[in-house]
Amino acid sequence: MRSRVLACLAAAASAAALLTGPTAAATPQRGCGAPPQEPGTSALRTIESGGLQRTYQLHLPADYHKKRDWPLIVVYHGRGNTGAGTETFSNLSTLPAIVAYPNGVIGLGDGDRQAWQGAPYSAPGVDDVAFTNDLLDELARTLCVDERRVYATGKSNGAGFVGILGCVLADRIAAIAPVAGAFYPNGIDCRPSRPVPVLDFHGTADATIPYTGDADRGLPAIGDWVTAWADRDRCRRQVPDVAIEPDITVERWTGCRRGAEVVHVAVTGGGHTWPGADSYSGGGYTTQTVEAHEVLWQFVRRYSL
């Protein structure tokens, strides 16, 4: 059951606490005025970035108020999807956090599909890293955001972009959690400014972004991508794989610098899907053994800048 995965992460959290110590009390940030929308609601909002009008779906938790600071989760949709669509299947808006679902720009190829920087079909000349910086600035200006507890997740092309953010925005993003990631070669020299905690989900039967990689498209094997992050974080130990359930195997790297950890959740037979989604999230088998949003939250909430 999903509780066994959460228990596995809870054990890891106890070990990490010995390395990192207790999290210091957060200081409320500068944007603690009247919220731009009612707590418990989602709304489409617009900002300007790079000369373009960019949009994002913003969700405030039901108990949002300006007397405390709130963690922020930024969620990047897959190619051809939207922030609102990803909100529907991911269940991330049920978490005790502000959640922003930015929208990409229509890229190359057929179908006028929105995409993110770093893929062969990305919109030429669009700087989504700069957009992310602008979005974080805007949210900190208008909301009670704890800027030490900002986390990034996404699916497919969006997950691939989250990998880029881990490389170049480690000073603003405390942890990353890609799902079914499309990690195309992007020419970025990945040297994060600090060790980045990573939680990765991927189905072993993903027909869109194969688990074993796709050399013709430059896609790495998922195991190689995860191991590369363990190397960057200078993790000293790989914990033996744990088969939590018949369709779930958890791999962990511990002893990483500054209390970081790298975790990979492999869904045996899983497709190009969001674990635990109760509506369509992509092709193939969707496990209900774990819910990605729950496991993600238990992982990222341990980390702050």
Task: Report pLDDT digits (tens) over 92-149.
Answer: 999 999 999 999 999 999 889 999 999 999 999 999 999 999 999 999 999 999 999 9
- Could you give the 3-state DSSP secondary structure of residue 38? coil
Indicate whether 16 pLDDT > 60: no
Does 54 map to a domain?
A: yes
Express each pLDDT in 254-266 by its tens digit: 999 999 999 999 9
Does 305 map to a domain?
A: no
Does 112 map to a domain?
A: yes
Does 100 map to a domain?
A: yes
Does 275 map to a domain?
A: yes
Which residue, chain included where needed, has tokens 């990192």? 20
Query: Which amino acid belongs to residue 114?
Result: Q
DSSP H helices, 143-218, are 157-168
Query: Which amino acid belongs to residue 184?
Result: Y
Total domains in the fold of the chain = 1
The CATH number of residue 208's host domain is 3.40.50.1820
Does 149 map to a domain?
A: yes
Which residues form the domain of 248? 2-300
Does 244 map to a domain?
A: yes
Does 159 map to a domain?
A: yes
Are 122 and 107 contacting, i.e. CB atoms less than 8 angstroms apart? yes
Global confidence as pTM: 0.91
Give φ, ψ of 147 to 5 degrees.
-70, -5
